[in-house]
Structure 1
Amino acid sequence: MTVRMTDAPGDYDEVNVEVLDVLVKGTSDTGENGWISIGTFTPQVYNLLDLTGGFNVVLANNVLVPSGNLGQIRLLLGDNNTVVKDGVTYPLNTPSAQQSGLKIKVNTILLPDITYNFLLDFDVNQSIVVEAGSSGNYNLNPVIRVVSNSTSGIIKGSVTTTPPGVQVLAAVDVNGTVVSAFTNAEGKFQINGIPAGTYTLTLTPDSTSGLLPVSIENIVVENGQATNVGVQVLE
């Protein structure tokens, strides 16, 4: 089994998270017994905003785990977590992550002799919470989608804008739930975890740009495959 981490970017310069280990558990109970460490990486700080446009980091690579039910994946975080906004660095509090880790429910059956790839997709916009009042503290309240390559596909591409450098939100509706990703600094985007089917992709530029949204219809997605829509021009 392979576990990777990526990010759907948000309105920050950096979101730095220290990851110490990744663990799995066969059940969904809240107890502390039964966790297995599968991390194959050196604990370090990752800027989640570096993991956009199709980039990701491998946390567990080709690790053998028992077949059967996979209940949860757990990220154990350190305390060296920060947010950079408008050039200013702020501590990023993770109220429960250092003690119990970030527990992500998976609840899927792993069959014998099959390689599974799981992607942990952070949504930074929804995961960073600014405390009310004058404290200005930033808390991590993680919103993470677990994506398996065996049961979903990818929509990716790039956007050029006039004027250049406008950030664009790429989004598709999956059975009533909007799944989206922003373009990175190079204009690239990648939307993970899209079940097989035919979709309409909507590209929505920053509202201050004056550019209009564009829709691309009849995008076919196959499980385990990446559908590349190429370069889209907004002007």
Structure 2
Amino acid sequence: MPALKHLVSSMLLLSTTLLITSCSKDDKQDKARLQVALTDDPGDFKAVYIDVQEINVNYNDNDDNGWQPLPGMKRGRYNLLTLVNDKDTVLADAEITSGTIKEIRLVLGDNNWVVTNNGDSVKLQTPSGQSSGIKLKINMPVSGGILYKLLLDFDVAKSIHEAGNSGKYILKPVIRTILEAQGGSIRGVVLPAVLPSAVLVLNGNDTIASTYSGTGGAYMLKGLAAGTYALHYISVDSLLQPVVKQSVVVETGKVTNIDTLTLTR
């Protein structure tokens, strides 16, 4: 258990900082986490570069209102033809409000290019109607505490059209969306709550995840793969005895609620 002891020691050294910041964690307990990734169905080109600038989500049925940008967006040009055969790249990884996501909007810049099989680099023309972004219907609920992955499957063959024999190409994106829960979460309360407690998730001797309890002793560990784990509770107060809870089952798309645990001397 040397690795576990080292991790616990490191975590306990952070106790002063955690006393200041633990309150802010409680605001995220009911947030879902969304990763947006880009992948590709191949087309007959050497390279296809798209200029991704923004991703927005909408929880409303009214298309004119309710759009919210995803924080932490990785703007830039992406070569779609490197994202084939189940490869993808994460464009955004953000905490979002739980509820039903009605639509996603992918906003592209104007730096989109295609490299043809004879080596010509041609700038892609984008219809003016796409200036506000490409809107994709989702209409799926997301629950607090769960990690979701939204895969944007870009069909190059259907999305790029040659304009007659002019050598010009038009970009009209055809994108399939796949939203799936990627793991489950563990939620509970550890007392006494005067000082925070470290909560560690172990699979055998391997530490899978860790956190600290916040206001009122509440804690949540998100994005855990389905499986059976042991929870280790270690208070910042060294006079309180650590506790291990065995056989905690995590299921994909679900939050496992743990009964309130009280550490004693």
2:95 is paired with a residue whose SS is coil
The aligned counterpart of 2:189 is: none
Q: Structure 1's 97 and 57: CA in aligned 2 closer, same or farther, altered over 3 A?
A: farther
Instruction: Name structure 2 gaps, 5 residues minimum.
Output: 1-33, 183-251, 254-265
Q: CA deviation at 1:97?
A: 6.8
Alpha-carbon deviations, 1:23-46, whole Å to 9, x = none? 111134332x32111142442111
1:104 aligns with 2:136: yes
Q: In the alignment, is residue 20 of structure 1 matched against residue 61 of structure 2?
A: no
Match of 1:8 in 2: 41
Residue 125 of structure 2 corresponds to: 93
- What does 1:26-175 correspond to in 2, within 5 Å? 26-31=59-64, 33-61=65-93, 63-86=94-117, 87-96=119-128, 99-132=131-164, 134-150=165-181
Which piece of structure 1 moves more, 97-106 or 83-92? 97-106
Residue segments in structure 1 that go unaligned for 5+ positions in a row? 152-222, 225-235
CA RMSD of aligned residues (A): 2.1
Query: Aligned residue for 1:187?
Result: none
| TM, length-normalised to structure 1 | 0.59
- Equivalent residue pairs, number: 150
Q: Among the aligned pairs, what percent are the same residue?
A: 41
Aligned to 1:27, the other structure's residue is in SS state: coil
Aligned counterparts of 2:41 and 2:152: Cα–Cα separation in 1? 10
TM superposition shift of 1:99: 2.0
Runs of at least 4 residues off by over 6 Å: none
Aligned residue for 1:149, secondary structure, equals strand
Q: TM-score, normalization: structure 2?
A: 0.53
SS at match of 1:100: coil
* Structure ranking higher in helix proportion: 2
What secondary structure does 2:131 align onto?
Answer: helix
